[in-house]
Chain A
Amino acid sequence: MTTTTASTQNPTDGPGPAETPAPIARDAAGSRELTYAESVRETLANLLEADERVFLMGEDIGVYGGAFGVTTGLLERFGRERVRDTPISEIAIVGAGVGAALCGMRPVVELQFSDFVTCAMDQIVNQAAKIHFMLGGAANVPMVIRAPAGSGTGAAAQHSQSLEAWFAHVPGLKVVMPATPADAAGLLRAAVDDPNPVIVLEHKLLYKQKGEVPPDHFVPLGKADVRRRGRDLTIVATSVMVGKSLAAAEELAAEGIEVTVVDPRTIKPLDEATILGEVAATGKALLVQEAPRNAGFVAEIAARIAESETFHSLQAPIVRLCGLDAPMAYAPELEKASVPQVPDIVAAARRLAKGA
């Protein structure tokens, strides 16, 4: 849970959040160091301020500030009409978002845990995703669904899943997985700007991570980020696995193995060109995700590599490093054992680098 809030609050706007805003360091270009949660909150505040069509809706996002504190202070600042606490009714929350979006609003809906999409799946899959197409282009659903995803909090099997592949499989949805505070802001701004339904999967373990966030940051959907370049192999990692892969890359560099780390950032649309180019450059691909292996999203990346010209550049079979094909366990050591950790990435990369 975050203990600081973004300092965009104007004291004359009304009572602020309970905590005292911490001073925020600024560099020369106007970037500030924010946590991922602060970055999301500040972006939501900016969007609410800039566009009266934007409103927020979700369980406990008001006084409580959201289960992870992301919306802390927004109710006080923007009022009950635009920061709407809802009953525990995921079908109605998402469905109301669809209806409001159809009528020209820009709802940003929060699902308290991404696992709860199971309760709202009709509205996401059968309604939001398909309305533009089914209606022959006569209507749009510019809705954003934010949902905390992933494991690492001891919340066990119904509060820890990584379900991104489900959404990526449905034509009509866009799927975003920000891995840094800057991307959390930039991709959210692009998502709200987009005339289509966008699912933003925020990883719970990232909420406290700090990073530089440029002001009014905007990251277009469908642009991968090459976080690091090395000659020996290419890691393509999503969400929390990006940071773990970068940590692994540091360790590998110490032993002389240089890796490229690519973060797709949006898995739909997918920046296939960047991924294929970076894999072709090293000839080796290690694909890392937290979600279970079977039919997971990196399987799609593996297939794209295998069916493209990049296949001919491969010097070794593609390697996937994924979560176990098992429900997430509760006990901390079991939970850790269920998803790739830094030493696992280091070991897999080392094997792949030396195996050629």
Chain B
Amino acid sequence: MRNLAKDPDVARQALETMWTARRFEEAVDQLFARGLMHGTMHLSIGQEASATGTCLALQPDDLITSTHRGHSHCVAKGADLTRMMAELLAKDSGYCRGRGGSMHIADVATGNLGANGIVGGGIPIAVGAALAQKLTGSGRVVISFFGDGAANEGAFHEAANLAAVWQLPVVFVCENNHYGMSMAADEAFAIENISARAAAYGFPGVTVDGNDVQEVYDMVSAAVERARDGRGPTLVENVTYRWKGHSKSDKNLYRTREEIEAWQERDPIVRFEEAVRAAGALTDAEIQAARQAATEAVRNAIRTANAAPPAPADQNLLLDAVYAEVPA
């Protein structure tokens, strides 16, 4: 397994991806606070290593399904920041033409089958996507991202079992950020590790330090290899933490400032920067440059997206968008 911190190119890519995800979320947070963004959103600050380590383990044409907290998955899978930002800014140039917003960004061209507003809703879809890969012999693997909350949905259990009995090329990546909205995982589960549930369906499960991009990469790589070889699914539980609230309405009544600060001490990006520095792969200036590149990319995305016209409020366009056109 390659060491991400030792290879200058990979280290730079991982750093830039994580910083881009972070800067994107920070920008969204600020735009929202200033009243410049509409609706709601679910920020993934603090969880960047999970998305980044997972997507680094994929081939470009592998597929993912994402969640309501999906911006970092999009970034890590290679989505266009301007189109993402345009969607959040309700522009016609957004990924969904202003029809989906934060919870429905997809980028089929980069293998991102879409975020999902329903907890657990994407898991059976990922299994179906994996079935399509098996039936067509494409050799592609599907990643199903979901949270700790989704592991208590029936959809997870039905989909995990189906993937197991059909030995489908799917990897279940559970991002355990400790809370399903306000419900603590400690109270929602009577087991210590969500990964233990894999045993019930007859495939391997592993719990990973989800704030260690290398560890995520290693475990997901092994799972992807297994899936690609036709040996079926794996459940990888990335234990992580969301720094921000569940959504805009969150007053953080269910957790303490001390707890949040303790997890901020384990910042996945800072940890990886230290590993890169220790490995000598990049100089301090290069590390700084990666951070700066991400900041610039997000800034440019906001500028370009903001200049675009809003999605037109045309009822006929909306009605025409409901159904795909039947070929003549």
Tell whether B171 is near chain A: CB-to-CB under 8 Å.
Answer: no
Q: For residue B83, which residue of chain A has the nearest CB?
A: A136
CB < 8 Å neighbour of A135 from B106, B127, B155: B106
Contact present for A123 and B132 (CB under 8 Å):
no
Q: Are B118 and A139 in contact (CB under 8 A)?
A: no
**Alpha-carbon gap, A21 to B24, bound state (A):** 64
Contact flags B130-147 to A (C-beta < 8 A → 1, else 0): 111101100000100000
Using A95-B155, A135-B96, A135-B104 as known contacts, say yes or no to A126 and B118 having CB atoms under 8 A apart: yes
In chain B, positions 155-176 with a C-beta closer than 8 Å to chain A are 155, 158-159, 161-162, 165-166
Whether B198 sits at the interface, judged by CB under 8 Å, is no
Contact A122 B161 (CB under 8 A): no
A127 within 8 A of B: yes
Smallest Cβ-Cβ distance to B170: which chain A residue: A99
The answer to whether the Cβ of A133 comes within 8 Å of any Cβ in the partner chain is yes
Chain B CB within 10 Å — which of A55, A133, A136 has the most? A136
Contact between A134 and B96, CB atoms less than 8 A apart: yes
Query: Please, how many angstroms separate the alpha-carbon atoms of A81 and B65 in the complex?
Result: 24
Kindly state the separation between the CA atoms of A89 and B155 in the bound complex, as whole angstroms. Answer: 9
Query: Do A99 and B127 touch across chains, with their CB atoms under 8 A apart?
Result: yes
Contact assessment for B326 and A91 in the assembled complex, using a CB-CB cutoff below 8 Å: no
7 A-B pairs with least C-beta separation: A95-B124, A99-B128, A96-B128, A103-B132, A92-B158, A136-B97, A89-B158
A102 touches B323 (CB 8 A): no
A132 is an interface residue with CB less than 8 A from chain B = yes
Interface residue tally on B, bucketed by range: 35 or more
Interface size class of A (residues with CB under 8 A): 35 or more
Closest chain B residue, CB of each to CB of A129? B322
16 further A-B contacts with Cβ under 8 Å, apart from A102-B128, A122-B155, are A82-B135, A84-B166, A87-B165, A89-B162, A91-B154, A92-B159, A95-B125, A96-B128, A102-B125, A104-B132, A105-B136, A123-B124, A127-B121, A135-B106, A136-B321, A174-B323
Name 5 A/B residue pairs within 8 A (Cβ), A-sorted. Answer: A82-B135, A87-B158, A92-B155, A135-B96, A138-B95
Cβ B97 vs Cβ A97 within 8 A: no
Query: Which listed residue, B104, B133, B135, B154, touches A55 by the CB 8 Å rule?
Result: B135
From known contacts A89-B162, A95-B155, A102-B113, infer whether A138 and B108 are also in contact, taking CB-CB under 8 Å: yes
A residues sitting closer than 8 Å to B (CB atoms) are 55, 81-82, 84, 86-87, 89-105, 107, 122-123, 126-127, 131-140, 142, 171-172, 174, 193-196, 221
Is B129 close to A, CB under 8 A? yes
Residues of B contacting A: mostly: mixed
B161 touches A195 (CB 8 A): no
Shortest distance from the beta carbon of B277 to any chain A beta carbon, whole Å: 40
Given A87-B161, A136-B94, A136-B96, check contact A172 B322 (CB 8 Å): yes
The yes or no answer to B33 lying at the interface (CB within 8 A) is no
In the assembled complex, the CB of B154 is this many whole angstroms from the nearest CB of chain A, namely 6
CB distance from A48 to the nearest CB of B (A): 12
Residues of chain B with a CB closer than 8 A to A142's CB: 324
Question: Judging by beta carbons under 8 Å apart, are A99 and B155 in contact?
Answer: no
Task: Closest A residue to B105 by CB, please name it.
Answer: A135
Q: Are A135 and B114 in contact, with the CB atoms below 8 A?
A: yes
> Which residues from chain B contact A137 at a C-beta distance below 8 Å?
97, 321, 324
In the bound complex, do residue A98 and residue B327 qualify as a contact, i.e. CB atoms below 8 Å apart?
no
Asked if B162 and A98 make an inter-chain contact with CB atoms under 8 angstroms apart, the answer reads no
Tell me the chain B residues, 206-238 only, with Cβ under 8 Å from chain A: none
Distance, CA A132 to CA B118, complexed state (A): 16
The closest CB in chain B to the CB of A99 belongs to B128
Contact in complex: A136, B100 (CB < 8 Å): yes
Within 8 A of A (CB), among B98-132: 98-100, 104, 106-108, 113-114, 116-118, 121, 123-132
